[in-house]
Chain A
Amino acid sequence: MAEPFHRVGEQRGPFTVTEVTFDVLPGGRTREFVRDSGDNYATTFGWDDDREYYQICQREGNLLVPYTIRHKMTEEGVPSSASWVYVGNSPYDYWRVLVEWWKPREFTIIEHDVKASPEVFEEFAICPHHWCTFKYSNHSEENAEAWKYGILGCTRFSAYLIKHVPNALKDLDWRYRDWHVLSTGLGMELRNAGFEPHLHGIVDHHRMMDRGGVAQLMQ
């Protein structure tokens, strides 16, 4: 069942949400109005769409590459054993794939606009931490800090962490099942469970810029 994305008192960028109204319109449409402490506001029209879980893949291995476009640079950065899973049929398929992969064995995600390297996997393999990430190459220190809890592009989760929060993805809030905000929602769940991300180095976030950028390619 559709629910508003914003909640009064939560952060909205650097501001705090002060007002939210939410309506379900005829035909399954939704309308949400939000205002924040900076007096910025937005009206969003959406749908009470299908965000329930159903299986769309089977977990194979411990290296996941969720993709909508197979980019050469991403292919070059992962071993041939990587499991490439298409997530472009629905904005919620990335979440469905992660629900399937969220089994108590460690795994690493390399997103389709990231070029990893052998050193990335070597560091992950020996790291004792439970939630490991690499900073995006296009992020400043300030931006990396802002997205500290919301990066999935080059991330490893340990078996211990998954065992500790086995339903972190299955029971994820309806509002966070869209891929645009999936990393934010999962990050909040893990943080609430007492985990903190362990930042390694910098990974090449190529963003498919040689082909006009992810935004252009995904239109």
Chain B
Amino acid sequence: MPIIGSNAGTIFPGGVDSFNEAYDPSLGPALQQLEGSEGFFPPNTLANITSQSIGDLYATSTVTLTAGSVFQTPLYLRAGQTVTNLSYYNAGTASSTPTNQWVGLAFPAGLSGATATSKCVAISADGTTTVHAANTLVTTALSSPYVVPTSGYYIAFVCVAATTGPNASAGVTMGTVGRGAFAPWPAGVGDTGKTTPYAVGATVGPTTAASACLLMYAN
């Protein structure tokens, strides 16, 4: 996923740009067109998005964040980029009686079938009992801003332990046929039965089956 946008006039190609749809003369029409054609259409309530998992236009479905399951989505990050927050959308179902909720990053993308073991590199605090309403863009701060050391795919993950829901905006579930029959599965559930956040450095279990890819933003 390219990282391009309006700040490129001053920092491109030496730094990380943000997505904001503004015309950027330094990028030129070709790259500007690419940004648009990939469906990046970020919300105007979240500033300085530097990476996102999938194009907004493809987040046409939802997936229920089953209690204690770690939902993983690949997120391309570039060396030198700082990730302060991770965001996802609560869709039509709010959580009820949540007890734990957190987000984080893991690297390398130890997706199922990969040889490298994925480790947690950044984690948020536990949001515990906070109830997020339906139709909420939930932005959670990492405990420390994460400066990306190596370009590549990382795993952004979300875990909510609650009696019901929530559900989150996502692409259509891949299913178990076609590409979904082959590991590694790029998005899905890794560890289950979790309540407390990972410690930085802890192993993050790989996805075990294909699922939907959450729409997540980094800024």
Contact = CB atoms under 8 A, between A and B. Distances in A.
A, B: real partners: yes
Contacts, number: 105
Given A180-B95, A215-B93, A13 B45 contact: no
A146 B134 CA distance: 22
A136 B162 CA distance: 12
Interface in A169-198: 178-181, 183-184
A13 B163 contact: no
Interface in B80-104: 85, 92-97, 99-101
Given A44-B136, A219-B93, A12 B130 contact: yes
Interface string B162-192: 1111110000000000000000000000000
Interface in A136-160: 136, 138-140, 143, 146-147, 150-151
Interface residues of A, number: 39
B45 A33 contact: yes
Interface residues of B, number: 41
Given A5-B133, A44-B133, A38 B96 contact: no
A218 to B, nearest CB: 6
Given A40-B127, A215-B164, A215-B167, A46 B135 contact: yes
A115 B139 CA distance: 36
A135 interface: no
A207 B135 CA distance: 24
B141 interface: yes
B94 A180 contact: yes
A5 B135 CA distance: 14
A140 B68 CA distance: 13
Nearest first, the 7 closest Cβ-Cβ pairs linking A and B are A13-B130, A143-B99, A44-B136, A43-B45, A215-B164, A39-B141, A13-B128
Given A40-B127, A42-B138, A43-B43, 8 more contacts: A14-B126, A14-B128, A39-B85, A42-B137, A46-B135, A143-B195, A180-B131, A215-B167
